[in-house]
Structure 1
Amino acid sequence: MALSISVGITEIPMTTVIESFINMDGSNEHLIIQDTRISRTLLAVIVGASLAIAGAMMQSITGNPLASPATLGVNAGASLFIVSMVVFWSISAISILVYAGFFGAFLSMVIVYILGSGGKEGLTPLKLTLAGAAIAALFTSMTQGLLTTNERGLEEVLFWLTGSVQGRKLELVAPIFPFMIVGMILAFMLAKSLNVITMGDDVAKGLGQRTGLTKLLGGLAITLLAGGAVAVAGPIVFVGLTVPHLVKGLVGHDHRWIIPYCVVVGAILLLVSDIGARFIMNQKEIPVGIMTAVIGTPFFIWIARRKVGE
């Protein structure tokens, strides 16, 4: 049986896919592969890897095994700014909304970091988590308030709010990719320091670790990774939560292994979820964010029950 891939509801032989790279002839199949499927696949891979690394770093820095981009308000910040652009300025161009989402995610992380750093003790995992939860709740409420006053705005951003890699052209979202690449490089550079941070601030300081600088750089990497991912694909949930735990079960707790494995597993998870989202309902496609939620919710419950049992 010849290998094939699905494009929409049409099966295209694998030989056609290969030909679209070595002998592009302008046919519908070649155009769909080059203009739609390649960009969608690359986007899913980059977003999945970025969210997984960001989740792993969040869990290490905050000491919270349930930490994810949603926990620290990154999703909520991006959503608020994108909805504001649609509601107040009637902007629907993806190229502009991507930058609005990235700025919203960045601002949200800055606010959370400032709030979590207040007081005599400075930045602590508990304060960072509480600040993130508070900002996420505030921004989510503001977003919902804007949507209830503007029905047209709801229609335009609803698909984005559920998380999706559909319809994102590479030329429109590519300007965000360098930020995400920088975040990945920074994450790899901090891997050894994150191993020390997970031992606790007192132990880390005793070993000569500059915990404040490590957390600051870690926060920057998280902002670049999660902020960029949310900006281009929407608030895709549970990838940043589930993948780090799966990876730790495979390679242990050394971040020099966790981070590269998060790249691979995160990319695979989101890519598989996106493929499933195209086939789970006949003739229709559901946002990939719904698929990751279906996969991640039982895992989230399992983690929460296990930690309570401890």
Structure 2
Amino acid sequence: MNRSSVSNHTHPGSPIPRNYTNVLVICLVLLGLCVVASLVLGSRPVRFHELIDGLFHPNADSYGADVVRKRISRTVFGLCCGAALGVSGALMQAVTRNPIADPSILGVNTGASLFVVCGIAFLNISTANQYIWLALAGALITAVFVFGIGSMGRGGATPLKLVLAGAATSAALSSLVSAIMIPRSYVMDQFRFWQVGSVGSANWSAIATFAPFLIVGILIAIITAPALNALALGDDAATGLGVRTGILRLAAALAGVLLCGAATALAGPIGFVGLLSTHVVRLMLGPDLRFVIPLSAVSGAIILMVSDVTGRLIGSPGELEVGVVTAFIGAPILILLAMRAKVRSL
């Protein structure tokens, strides 16, 4: 690849995709519709005047207005988690140069789950602040382990080796989770609601705990995006452009783990959001991460909100947890992507 093609791909002044404005407007409109749907749809549908009362009239004491107020925190939390998982997926795909990398596929979610269940079983933890630090530690250790295993042998960390290492690690850690839970019924009762992945228990305290991790992770992602474009061209080309590939990978990977671990700690292991959102954006805009990362946040939020509302409607009068819905949607799409891409590197 010649120098000019590298510059065109990574230069900060390179042109904005022609359809960027249209895609952005469509995504924002869809996001707005998802927010409205999340507030009005569920086991108890809300009428328009109840929605207005719940949003703008704090003294309104109707049942519908109370339902809207309770759904506001759930909606905000779902938006935050979807954005975090979308950006995390984009970062992990960029760092590993693997088009089907995702926190759930690489075992990062399972690592977070193991540490959380250990905390419940052996440390008696029960609050969001306690969950979040254990989940981050588990996600980070698992990510390092999977990348280390996938880097062994000839060829280094190829996409196929990383996926296989992630699948094997996830299976092993899932067995450990079961081994810890089965003899301890109280751990199983507390953990099983968290394990399926849900935004239904969201509250403003959890959102406040999550917000700093979300902000820091997305800021790092946006700052590193131009250099990650260079990394997609190969380590030699990136080094020739003055990119410190080791530091870049570490910073981007830490941001991805931070976003994924924090979301997993509070919402449970929700899979496939990062995979789906990033592929949708890349399909529409191309590979430039300066545009892929911000729109992955928006599309991730849309996917999670659509899944949450779908789960409420399908499971009415109860609800089907969002992690189950994303798995139903994501698993066949993952198979399709693997068949079409044949696990090519980015």
Normalization by structure 1: what TM-score? 0.88
Match of 2:233 in 1: 199
Match of 1:159 in 2: 193
Could you tell me the percent identity over the aligned residues?
38
- How far, CA to CA, are the matches of 1:309 and 1:82 in structure 2? 32
Match of 1:33 in 2: 68
Of the three residues 1, 13, 17, the one matched with 2:51 is 17
Match of 2:275 in 1: 241
- How far, CA to CA, are the matches of 1:289 and 1:49 in structure 2? 15
Would you say 1:64 and 2:98 are equivalent positions? yes
Q: Is the 8 A contact 1:247 1:265 kept in 2?
A: yes
Q: Deviations over 1:229-254 (max 9, x none)?
A: 11111110111111111111110111
Is the deviation greater in 165-174 or in 76-85?
165-174
- How far, CA to CA, are the matches of 1:304 and 1:32 in structure 2? 42
Which letter does structure 1 place at the counterpart of 2:90?
Answer: A
**5 Å matches for 1:273-288?**
273-288=307-322
Which letter does structure 1 place at the counterpart of 2:297?
Answer: V
Structure 2 portions without partners, runs of 5+: 1-35
Match of 1:250 in 2: 284
Which letter does structure 1 place at the counterpart of 2:197?
Answer: G
Match of 1:42 in 2: 76
Measure how far apart 1:110 and its partner are: 4.4
Distance 1:277 1:179, change over 3 A: same
Would you say 1:266 and 2:324 are equivalent positions? no
Distance 1:148 1:199, change over 3 A: same
- How far, CA to CA, are the matches of 1:245 and 1:156 in structure 2? 34
Q: Is the 8 A contact 2:50 2:65 kept in 1?
A: yes
Match of 2:176 in 1: 142
Structure 1 portions without partners, runs of 5+: none
**5 Å matches for 1:162-173?**
162-173=196-207
Q: Is the 8 A contact 1:159 1:287 kept in 2?
A: no
Q: Is the 8 A contact 1:7 1:37 kept in 2?
A: no
Distance 1:250 1:174, change over 3 A: same
Normalization by structure 2: what TM-score? 0.80
Q: Which has the higher contact order (CA 8 A, sep 6+)?
A: 2
Match of 1:307 in 2: 341
Q: Is the 8 A contact 2:108 2:143 kept in 1?
A: yes
Match of 1:83 in 2: 117
Distance 1:176 1:113, change over 3 A: farther
SS at match of 1:69: coil
SS at match of 1:280: helix
Q: Deviations over 1:9-43 (max 9, x none)?
A: 22222222222333212624333322x21111111
- How far, CA to CA, are the matches of 1:45 and 1:252 in structure 2? 24
SS at match of 2:325: helix
Measure how far apart 1:147 and its partner are: 1.7
Measure how far apart 1:94 and its partner are: 4.0
Q: Is the 8 A contact 1:98 1:173 kept in 2?
A: no
Q: Is the 8 A contact 2:41 2:313 kept in 1?
A: no
Which letter does structure 1 place at the counterpart of 2:67?
Answer: I
**5 Å matches for 1:211-230?**
211-230=245-264
Which letter does structure 1 place at the counterpart of 2:239?
Answer: K
Q: Is the 8 A contact 1:180 1:225 kept in 2?
A: yes
Would you say 1:53 and 2:84 are equivalent positions? no
Match of 1:188 in 2: 222
Is the deviation greater in 283-292 or in 80-89?
80-89
Q: Is the 8 A contact 2:55 2:68 kept in 1?
A: no
Q: Deviations over 1:134-193 (max 9, x none)?
A: 543432221121122223322221121111001121213421220121000110111111
**5 Å matches for 1:285-300?**
285-300=319-334
Q: Is the 8 A contact 1:161 1:235 kept in 2?
A: yes
Q: Is the 8 A contact 1:186 1:221 kept in 2?
A: yes
Distance 1:24 1:56, change over 3 A: same
SS at match of 2:46: strand
- How far, CA to CA, are the matches of 1:56 and 1:152 in structure 2? 37
Is the deviation greater in 289-298 or in 91-100?
91-100
- How far, CA to CA, are the matches of 1:246 and 1:217 in structure 2? 25
Q: Deviations over 1:57-109 (max 9, x none)?
A: 11111121111112333201210111112222444344433333233223333
- How far, CA to CA, are the matches of 2:292 and 2:91 in structure 1? 10
- How far, CA to CA, are the matches of 1:118 and 1:182 in structure 2? 31
* Total equivalences in the alignment: 306
Measure how far apart 1:263 and its partner are: 1.3
- How far, CA to CA, are the matches of 1:309 and 1:11 in structure 2? 43
